[in-house]
Amino acid sequence: MMKAVLCLLFCAAAVMAADKTVYDFTLNSIDGQPAPLAAYRGKVVLLVNVASRCGFTPQYTALESTYEKYKDRGLVIVGIPANNFGAQEPGTNQEIKTFCSSKYHVTFPMMAKVSVKGQDITALYQFLTDKAMNPQTGGEIQWNFTKFLIGPDGHVITRFEPEVTPDSPQVTSAIEKTLASLKS
């Protein structure tokens, strides 16, 4: 009897975990306000862990141009600052916001700084990197500017490592294909 109850509880937990999407998470905006990712339901989302003092930081230019190109078709880019790699994002949220807006003219949503790996990893990145929940795209974040493409249903479609720029053919093709699904 006890085994049956435990199995039932485990199976229910597994089903609930399988139904989890990025829309189940709330971060804080760069201004400190709660920012539920469910606000992007029905859109195509590119989540990117960013840093201001990284060799990949110039990708902000491509992120902004990609956002400008596709935002009216349903793309949202979400920048998520993290200081996990070489202390390349040491500033406060206000300093990060000022840097992004003055140097790169960022207009896409920016979140407050979080941890994307390690003991203090934020719940969103626990989910994104969990190989059981996301077998195709899970795995520890290796560096800044890792990108996750999220479909309108909140499920992870694909992951791009930092070397793959936001305006590369791989990323733009995946974005366009996913945006086309919005019309279906």
Active site residue: 7, 11, 54, 100, which one? 54
**Does a structural domain hold residue 103?**
yes
Q: What's the mean pLDDT when you consider all of the chain? A: 92
- With beta carbons less than 8 A apart as the criterion, state whether 112 and 29 touch: yes
**Does a structural domain hold residue 8?**
no
Is pLDDT of 9 > 80? no
Task: Count CB-CB contacts under 10 A for residue 38.
Answer: 13
Is pLDDT of 4 > 80? no
54 is catalytic: yes
**Total structural domains within the chain:** 1
Within 71-162, residue ranges assigned H as helices are: 93-104, 123-129
CATH number at residue 35: 3.40.30.10
pLDDT digits (tens, 9 = 90+) for 14-24: 444 558 999 99
H-helix or E-strand containing 176?
A: helix 169-183
**Does a structural domain hold residue 101?**
yes
pLDDT value at residue 18: 59
pLDDT digits (tens, 9 = 90+) for 73-113: 999 999 999 999 999 999 999 999 999 999 999 999 999 99
**Does a structural domain hold residue 78?**
yes
pLDDT digits (tens, 9 = 90+) for 128-170: 999 999 999 999 999 999 999 999 999 999 999 999 999 999 9
**Does a structural domain hold residue 17?**
no
Domain holding 164, by residue range, is 22-183
